[in-house]
Amino acid sequence: MPSILLDTSDGIGTITINRPDVRNALDRETVSQLTAAIADCDGSAEVGAIIVTGSGDQVFVSGADIRQMRERRRDDGLAAINSSAFSAVERARKPTIAAINGHALGGGCELALACDLRVAAAHAKLGQPEVGLGIIPAAGATQRLPKLIGLGRASALVLTGDPIDAATALDWGLVNAVVPGEMLMSEARAMAGRILRRGPLAVRLAKLALRASARVDLDSGLLIETLAQAICLDSDDKQEGMSAFLEKRTPKFTGR
More confident residue, 84 or 117: 117
Of the candidates 130, 182, 187, 240, the residue annotated as catalytic is 130
Active site residue 110: yes
Q: What is the pLDDT of residue 185?
A: 97
User: CA-CA distance, 102 to 79, in Å (whole number)?
Assistant: 29
H or E element at residue 198: none
User: CA-CA distance, 17 to 30, in Å (whole number)?
Assistant: 8
**First and final CA of the chain: distance in angstroms?**
40
Residues 8, 46 contacting (CB under 8 angstroms): yes
- Inform me whether the pLDDT recorded for 83 exceeds 90: no
Q: pLDDT digits over 120-163, tens only?
A: 999 999 999 999 989 899 899 999 999 999 999 999 999 999 99
Q: What is the pLDDT of residue 62?
A: 87
List the chain domain ranges: 4-196, 200-246
Q: List residues bridging with 52 in a β-sheet.
A: 15, 98
Active site residue 240: no
Q: pLDDT digits over 177-210, tens only?
A: 999 999 999 999 999 999 999 999 999 999 999 9
Q: What is the pLDDT of residue 162?
A: 97
Window from 31-35, 66-70, 124-128, 137-141 with minimum mean pLDDT? 66-70
One fold for 4-196 and 200-246: no
In CATH terms, 4-196 corresponds, of 3.40.50.300, 3.40.50.10860, 2.60.120.10, 3.90.226.10, to: 3.90.226.10
Q: Which superfamily does CATH assign the domain made up of 200-246 to?
A: Lyase 2-enoyl-coa Hydratase, Chain  A, domain 2 (1.10.12.10)
Of the candidates 110, 182, 187, 247, the residue annotated as catalytic is 110
